[in-house]
Chains A and B, each alone.
Chain A
Amino acid sequence: MEDTAEPSDPELVERARGGEREAFGVLYRRHQAYVYRFARAMTGSSAVAEDIVQEVFLALMRDLERYDAARAGLRTYLFGIARNLARYKARSMRRLISLDQVEEVSEFEDPAETLSASQENRRLRRCLAGLPARYREVIILCDLQELDYAATAAVLSVPIGTVRSRLHRGRHMLLERLRSRDGLPVAKRCLI
Chain B
Amino acid sequence: MTQPEPARPHLDGAAGTAGRLILPIAVTAAILVVLPHLWFADSPYTTGLAVEALVFGCYAVGFNLIFGSTNQLFLCVGALAGVGGYATAILSDKASLPLAVGVAIGTVSAAIVGGLLAWIAVRRSLNVIFTGIVTLVFSLAFTNFIIGQRDLTGADTGYVLEGAATKLADDRLGGYYLFAGLLVALLIVFRALQLSHLGWAFRALRDDEVAAELAGVDVARYRIYAAVVGSAMIGLTGGLFAYSLGFISPVTYGFAQVDVQVLIIVAFGGMGTLLGPVIGAAAFGFLDRALSDSGQLREAYYGAFVIAIFLFLRRGVVPTVGGLFERLVGSRRRAQRVESAAPGRSER
Do A and B truly interact? no
Which B residues are closer than 8 A to A by beta carbons?
Answer: none
Residues of chain A at the chain B interface (Cβ within 8 Å): none
